[in-house]
Chains A and B, each alone.
Chain A
Amino acid sequence: MEEHTFDPDLVREIFGLVWRRTAAERDKNENSQNVDAEVGASTSKKKFNGANPHALKLSCELLRIFVTEAIQRASAIAEIEGSPKIEATHLERILPQLLLDF
């Protein structure tokens, strides 16, 4: 049985984009602080190397659970209302609790 899931490479690229942005913001803040202090002190440069392959696979699973949970909850509401299609109204009702749970 083929299980649909996220591609670990795609998730790694998305994570990488976020980490590069946070590293760039951190560097910008450190540079402005060094200019203010007028001291050439070496700040502790902790370079983040990303996530190991197992952590990436687990992250893919977590993201898959998020999507399937949203669909399952919305389809439960749609079933109660007797609708064959999941619509915006069904998603609206489960969204607050879903976002709190995740």
Chain B
Amino acid sequence: MATNDVEREEEEDESVNQLLRDRFRLCTISIAEAEAMKNGMEVSQPILSCISDLACKYAQQLAKDLELFSQHGTRKSASTKDVILSAASLRSSCYDLKQKTPQSEKKRRKIT
């Protein structure tokens, strides 16, 4: 009976996972098509699926990195610092991301 419960839980997890992936795919497609339209280009369907799968894998890796960075900094939740560390390999994006960090978080850090 226990194995049946475990199997049922796994099936539910898998269906939730599939639903999230489908929603993610829709977001990726809208972003990709809008970006391609800026250059007056079209994107073929297989490319959209490929990019959405890659972005989903990147999101999952980002989640793991955020957890590791915040635990290394003895924090119980991930902050913008951890996101910027995860994107450390992107030099120019790092600068853009820092610009997008809201002022309220920067001020809180200065006070403490």
Q: A10-B20, A66-B58 are in contact. Are A55 and B79 (CB under 8 A)?
A: yes
Contacts of A75 in B (CB 8 A): 36, 39, 41
Alpha-carbon distance between A47 and B70 when the two chains are bound, in angstroms: 12
- Asked whether A55 lies within 8 Å of B54 as measured between CB atoms, the reply is no
- Asked whether B87 lies within 8 Å of A62 as measured between CB atoms, the reply is yes
- Asked whether A62 lies within 8 Å of B62 as measured between CB atoms, the reply is yes
- Asked whether B28 lies within 8 Å of A51 as measured between CB atoms, the reply is no
Per-residue CB contact flags for chain B residues 84-105 toward chain A (1 = under 8 Å, else 0) read 1011011001001100111001
Q: A17-B20, A85-B44, A91-B47 are in contact. Are A54 and B31 (CB under 8 A)?
A: no
- Asked whether A52 lies within 8 Å of B77 as measured between CB atoms, the reply is yes
- Asked whether B97 lies within 8 Å of A102 as measured between CB atoms, the reply is no
Q: Number of residues in A with C-beta < 8 Å to the partner?
A: 49
B11-50 at interface with A (beta carbon < 8 Å): 13, 16-17, 20, 23-24, 27-28, 30-32, 34-36, 39-44, 46-47, 50
Q: A14-B60, A22-B64, A49-B77 are in contact. Are A71 and B42 (CB under 8 A)?
A: no
Q: Number of residues in B with C-beta < 8 Å to the partner?
A: 56
- Asked whether A48 lies within 8 Å of B34 as measured between CB atoms, the reply is no
- Asked whether A67 lies within 8 Å of B43 as measured between CB atoms, the reply is no
5 pairs from A and B in contact (CB 8 Å cutoff):
A51-B78, A52-B79, A62-B87, A66-B58, A88-B47
**B residues adjacent to A (C-beta < 8 A):** 13, 16-17, 20, 23-24, 27-28, 30-32, 34-36, 39-44, 46-47, 50-51, 54-56, 58-60, 62-64, 66-67, 70-71, 76-80, 82-84, 86-87, 89-90, 93, 96-97, 100-102, 105
